[in-house]
Structure 1
Amino acid sequence: MSNGRSEKRIVKTVSLEVCLPAAPKLSERLLTENVSAHGARVLVEQKLQPGLQVLISSPGEVVWSQARIVYCQRVSKERFAVGLELAGRVESWAKSY
């Protein structure tokens, strides 16, 4: 059964700052669960709307990109898993370690 992905995800914890372009002062620091060259899965405390555009940055990984929320699934009472599709490729996330 296909999940629609063409790239393999790797388990990697990356510190990200995510902000909504409409409200840049409402940024949130998050950790990834897994990444690929064009995406990431993060855990958040609030439900986010699929299709929403966000900005992500990770100074430690030298990453800055626009991203689209692909899905938002409840994983516990207070947590949601969010799939991010990045506008560009992140080479350091394409390599498995």
Structure 2
Amino acid sequence: MEGRKEKRISQRIPVLLSSLAQPLHAEQASTEDITSYGVRVETGRQWELGSIVLVKSPQGRPLIRARVVYCKPVEPKAFSLGLEFVTRNPAWMTR
């Protein structure tokens, strides 16, 4: 947990990601781990650092805005995306 505000919980949750510029064009993705401060997501495209992403979960969690803090390639067409929630939301902790 070194340097972290909260321990990460490893959990796969299907989510939809969209940009503020194109909120109706959502990409299906999956979380890798999660805290009430942010989430790491496996995605099929590269996202710009600092951009705001809308994250929606079909599991009843509220739509939330998050900032891209890193985007690392893990395979030729797969990226690990670090998202920090703009507003902390305990509803995004594991259930």
TM-score (norm 2): 0.86
- Given that 2:61 and 2:91 are in contact with CA atoms closer than 8 Å, whether structure 1 keeps it comes out as no
Partner of 1:15 in structure 2?
14
The count of aligned residue pairs is 95
State yes or no: 1:60 paired with 2:88.
no
**CA offsets 1:4-52 (integer angstroms, 9 cap, x no match):** 4211111011111111010123211111000001111111111111101
What's the C-alpha RMSD, in Å, of the aligned pairs?
A: 1.9
The CA distance in 2 between the partners of 1:93 and 1:23, in whole Å, is 23
- State the one-letter code of the partner of 1:26: H
State yes or no: 1:33 paired with 2:28.
no
Partner of 1:70 in structure 2?
69
Q: Which runs of 5+ in 1 are unaligned?
A: none
- State the one-letter code of the partner of 1:33: E
Partner of 1:91 in structure 2?
90
Write 1 or 2 for the structure with the bigger share of strand: 1
Q: Which runs of 5+ in 2 are unaligned?
A: none
The CA distance in 2 between the partners of 1:33 and 1:89, in whole Å, is 18
TM-score (norm 1): 0.85
Identity of aligned residues (%): 33
The CA distance in 1 between the partners of 2:4 and 2:60, in whole Å, is 23
Write 1 or 2 for the structure with the bigger share of helix: 1
